Structure 1
């Protein structure tokens, strides 16, 4: 058988554990169920406070097969380390063979069970039940979440022991199955961190990349995530990142649960594989753990790595920020948009005023009317799309001068069939899609110029309508249209040198849905190291704004405050700056943390943060 920050503050689930009688919930498989007959639902456990640990009851003496199976299913939703209680419902051989960590299957509701006794008599020593439901997602052995759909149907077999006369499960599918509400109570999303393997970003810094996984929230999550980091990146991300931990590195044998000391320092004992690392590499290893542990507890501010009796290195949280750059810590100076004169203008992110100023340089002068723009992450260069969508211009934001010729043009038949809003990556390269139905392309312009690189997107089913590159430069979000329905897809950017062409060969691979519940996507923007903010509509629903994880899961916490008529949305990976949006009803508006939307400028469109 996530997460990024929410509403202006990082979501940090409470880690306090209540062991007193009032703080422990026991799941007892004691409800009587018939051995045959109609389909019955196994109800999901009511959602409990995050500080309450839930433990299962062992099988009752003489319990019938239906109660044994129900007790086992309830035990799967408990906070029992190693599923020790759940194994008591299995025969010794089945307990040895069962691998609960192989896959977790999440159903819309708790699994329904229907008896299908294999014997024809009430005194039979064999029983079988079929578990059914509607799949929502799976979490694989690497703890990687993936949306899923379609029916779930598995058979569980039970037998009665000849000596004890107790019913036990002797045949079951591998892994764990539970309803969505139990999954949300039991699991938490954590970003673990690795480094982009394509080299340093435009500023020369190593770039950290988030790799979201799900861990059991109240079963020693700190040790879980440390082990997960040591085991390496998930399969989807592995081709474009590296880990500084030597291959085979693990916690030292016999390591107890990891706990920080009273100085908030976490000591991590590693096996002999890490014994020979140098100081620079060790600092990167410690930085990976510090970045990751911030999603488990905010109290750890230093990590010490040891191997045997040897001290390898110690690193504080402040020192870790100097080891690698993350989008969530890069504070933008300005938010930018197009004013009523079709110029690129800006507002300081920390300013209380609402008077925008034209950006320095040609894009702020209005000689070339614009409809959309993107600003490089160092805020020194900008790219603007002409008002008819046919031409892309690049200009400096630190010096004056003429705009020059466009770096890219489109021959699409209408403005909506031409160039998208561009997007800058961590390497200083510029991305834009041409929506021309006769010649659709995803283009990359190195350092914002030169011969455009035609980016390959194998498996793309539809036409790209919008593009946003993550701050790490190795993931890209695409709004894709097919037959009038839009989807939000996230792909992995892979680069290789094309020696014959003298420029890189770039591909976007293994597209996956980040918002599977939406059929209409109006706007989207990166809003964290592994999170996007999306404006869209479900089938038969109304427009909504919500957060979405890159793995297709929904982060905990409330969505942004409602806003009608949204046509564009801008977010920064740094959650200290507010969301900004363009509404056809209210103009440019912003959403400071903990408040409602506020009007900034009535006449303005296409807001963006750097990126």
Structure 2
């Protein structure tokens, strides 16, 4: 439980139970204050602090009244106390043993407001008191550190009792932690831990596909150690069915290890318990690759090297960053050579992905040099093939990006009566398979063409409620983003790809556990993957105007700045290599691109359907 420090602070009230401590200075302004007695109307909030500011709480003062005890406890839980030791001082001995702050974190729109019950609530006694914590839920972070959007009313009770020493203490409280949104953003950071796609290559020496599993950890409380423990405990529940870990079951940090950090060579040494003592070198390097990728966002410069140690302190293996790509492919490891769009002649053209000065050129092959007019296209991740949707949306063609190559017959047709009821922009996954949705109201289907050819597979989606309007598959091949339309509203949903391919039989592919990741938007018009676990989305809230924002696959909003405003956006393209610019189709400006730290720049006035490989 905690107080939201944003929105109501700066009132200049005296500090009684908390102090915000910055680097080398004591900052008094902005910490919540404690009334000596009376009703507790709400937890005072302070402006959001810089991420480098450390916040420490004070223990309860002698003779503090119930309102002050509750207030101090809530404030203590928004501090950087690693084990919540200060917060526990507000509890009775029995409550300390029963309370588990790590079970979950509930995020409210504001810090929990309170309603008090009068003293003497227990048969006329005057030695107990109750407060009800209320608020509007925004999200929940579970015991696996997994974030999930949430909604509805929050209503929990905190009970206090007068101890024999005449000090008030809390003896009844909900499990876990609750705090306001701005306190959550100050206390927690989203970081990806990495596993391997279970449907990827399995042969000796085969390169594995990494899959990001985003979780939230406390930013100022040994985040690297938290992340290692979270990684070793395994993937979050939603991702678990489609990924694997190289760590033997039961592997943990060696007993007594409390903090991990890079040394002066930017190497992180990770001592493990006996469960990992007998792994072979090949398995160990896969374990090290998982750790190395997980560490990259935890330090400003990343980590150059990981050493794993046996329980006796001897070396198990070492992996340096340059070697990791040989073990497992990473979403940002391969930089696309080109960015693509449809020009004013309705042909597929390309331009260098990192250089906006060169003019677009037609792609080699029939999709750029032929007579077939296109409205949308997708380029394979190795940039050797492309798929194009005909100008009327009825036909899908696949061709190689080799000069002089012929196009051949369409691989798929839609019977939809209008262009908007026909084929969506296709998408290639990391295994070379091609995905597309047919929006025909009479026969809506999500389809998969293995290696872009053959009879299409109908992909089952048991929890899909609506018609698919857009499809984007992640580089890892186990997650898919869909724009789904129903009753005039469209939402962004993420699903898990399940493949059941028995030898000699036609594979069965399905999308499971679809979940909305931008519930605040009632109309989503465009989206694209923009990192290992991030998407860029164009849409609007109820009664609002069009906006562009980043969202995480777990439904949270990353702290990173949203892209600068752009009007009339019809389509958006981003690379999973976050260093590359966004590219958009704007009704007013045509094809435009946005590089980091710059403003939108026009590429060509007449152009549509921008895409990166994928």
Distance 2:401 2:270 in 1: 46
After superposition, where does 1:48-127 map in structure 2 within 5 Å? 48-117=49-118, 119=120, 124-127=126-129
Aligned twin of 1:305: 308
Shift of 1:301: 1.1
After superposition, where does 1:195-210 map in structure 2 within 5 Å? 195-200=196-201, 205-210=207-212
Aligned twin of 1:4: none
Extract unaligned runs of 5+ from structure 1.
2-16
Asked if the contact 2:32–2:43 (Cα under 8 Å) also holds between the matched residues in 1, the reply is no
Shift of 1:552: 0.4
Residues 167 and 465 from structure 1, CA distance in 2 versus in 1: closer, same or farther, beyond 3 angstroms? same
Residues 25 and 58 from structure 1, CA distance in 2 versus in 1: closer, same or farther, beyond 3 angstroms? farther
Asked if the contact 1:344–1:373 (Cα under 8 Å) also holds between the matched residues in 2, the reply is yes
After superposition, where does 1:512-527 map in structure 2 within 5 Å? 512-527=515-530
Asked if the contact 2:484–2:491 (Cα under 8 Å) also holds between the matched residues in 1, the reply is yes
Distance 2:27 2:260 in 1: 23
Shift of 1:401: 2.7
Aligned twin of 2:579: 576
Return the match for 1:362 from 361, 366, 373.
Answer: 366
Residues 504 and 24 from structure 1, CA distance in 2 versus in 1: closer, same or farther, beyond 3 angstroms? farther
Aligned twin of 2:252: 250
Shift of 1:171: 0.7
Aligned twin of 1:549: 552
Aligned twin of 1:133: 135
Distance 1:373 1:286 in 2: 38
Asked if the contact 1:200–1:427 (Cα under 8 Å) also holds between the matched residues in 2, the reply is no
Q: Work out whether 1:458 is the aligned partner of 2:466.
A: no
Q: Work out whether 1:597 is the aligned partner of 2:592.
A: no
Asked if the contact 1:514–1:551 (Cα under 8 Å) also holds between the matched residues in 2, the reply is yes
Shift of 1:264: 1.3
Aligned twin of 2:321: 317
**Does 138-147 or 346-355 show the bigger shift?**
346-355
Distance 1:83 1:112 in 2: 21
Q: Work out whether 1:440 is the aligned partner of 2:453.
A: no
Shift of 1:34: 1.4
Aligned twin of 1:536: 539
Return the match for 1:489 from 490, 493, 509.
Answer: 493
Structure 1 length normalisation: TM-score? 0.94
Distance 2:288 2:28 in 1: 35
Please report the RMSD computed on the Cα atoms of aligned residues, expressed in angstroms. Answer: 1.9
Asked if the contact 1:422–1:432 (Cα under 8 Å) also holds between the matched residues in 2, the reply is yes
After superposition, where does 1:554-569 map in structure 2 within 5 Å? 554-569=557-572
Distance 1:157 1:436 in 2: 58
Distance 1:235 1:176 in 2: 21
Asked if the contact 2:378–2:611 (Cα under 8 Å) also holds between the matched residues in 1, the reply is yes
Residues 28 and 537 from structure 1, CA distance in 2 versus in 1: closer, same or farther, beyond 3 angstroms? closer
Distance 1:133 1:194 in 2: 36
Shift of 1:280: 1.1
Distance 2:76 2:33 in 1: 8
Q: Tell me the secondary structure at the aligned position of residue 287 of structure 2.
A: helix
Aligned twin of 1:327: 331
Shift of 1:398: 2.4
Aligned twin of 2:511: 508
Shift of 1:399: 4.7
**Does 190-199 or 394-403 show the bigger shift?**
394-403
Q: Tell me the secondary structure at the aligned position of residue 342 of structure 1.
A: coil
Residues 207-226 of structure 1 show CA distances to partners (whole Å, capped at 9, x for unaligned) of 01100000000011111111
Residues 404-435 of structure 1 show CA distances to partners (whole Å, capped at 9, x for unaligned) of 11111111111100100000000000000011
Structure 2 length normalisation: TM-score? 0.93
Asked if the contact 2:213–2:236 (Cα under 8 Å) also holds between the matched residues in 1, the reply is yes
Asked if the contact 1:346–1:356 (Cα under 8 Å) also holds between the matched residues in 2, the reply is yes
Asked if the contact 2:356–2:603 (Cα under 8 Å) also holds between the matched residues in 1, the reply is no
Distance 1:21 1:123 in 2: 45
Q: Tell me the secondary structure at the aligned position of residue 183 of structure 1.
A: helix
Shift of 1:116: 1.4
Residues 204 and 396 from structure 1, CA distance in 2 versus in 1: closer, same or farther, beyond 3 angstroms? farther
Aligned twin of 1:12: none
Distance 2:596 2:314 in 1: 45
Shift of 1:575: 1.7
Aligned twin of 2:481: 477
Shift of 1:21: 3.7
**Does 66-75 or 398-407 show the bigger shift?**
398-407
Asked if the contact 1:545–1:562 (Cα under 8 Å) also holds between the matched residues in 2, the reply is yes
Asked if the contact 1:421–1:466 (Cα under 8 Å) also holds between the matched residues in 2, the reply is yes
What is the aligned length? 591
Asked if the contact 1:24–1:54 (Cα under 8 Å) also holds between the matched residues in 2, the reply is no
Distance 2:195 2:402 in 1: 33
Q: Tell me the secondary structure at the aligned position of residue 246 of structure 1.
A: coil
Shift of 1:299: 4.5
Q: Tell me the secondary structure at the aligned position of residue 264 of structure 2.
A: coil
Aligned twin of 1:418: 422
Which fold has the larger relative contact order, with Cα–Cα distance below 8 Å and residues 6 or more apart in sequence? 1
Aligned twin of 1:9: none
Q: Tell me the secondary structure at the aligned position of residue 198 of structure 1.
A: coil
Q: Tell me the secondary structure at the aligned position of residue 260 of structure 1.
A: coil
Aligned twin of 1:14: none
Residues 28-64 of structure 1 show CA distances to partners (whole Å, capped at 9, x for unaligned) of 66334514xxx71213343111111101110111111
Asked if the contact 2:119–2:127 (Cα under 8 Å) also holds between the matched residues in 1, the reply is no
Residues 24 and 194 from structure 1, CA distance in 2 versus in 1: closer, same or farther, beyond 3 angstroms? farther
Residues 243-265 of structure 1 show CA distances to partners (whole Å, capped at 9, x for unaligned) of 11110000000113112221111
Return the match for 2:154 from 148, 152, 155.
Answer: 152
Distance 1:335 1:434 in 2: 25
Residues 33 and 416 from structure 1, CA distance in 2 versus in 1: closer, same or farther, beyond 3 angstroms? farther
Asked if the contact 1:24–1:55 (Cα under 8 Å) also holds between the matched residues in 2, the reply is no
Task: Show structure 1 runs of 4+ deviating over 4 A.
Answer: 23-29, 120-123, 201-204
Shift of 1:22: 3.0
Shift of 1:512: 1.1
Aligned twin of 1:175: 176
Residues 479-510 of structure 1 show CA distances to partners (whole Å, capped at 9, x for unaligned) of 0001111100000101012568x221111111
Return the match for 1:293 from 288, 292, 295.
Answer: 295
Residues 538 and 236 from structure 1, CA distance in 2 versus in 1: closer, same or farther, beyond 3 angstroms? same
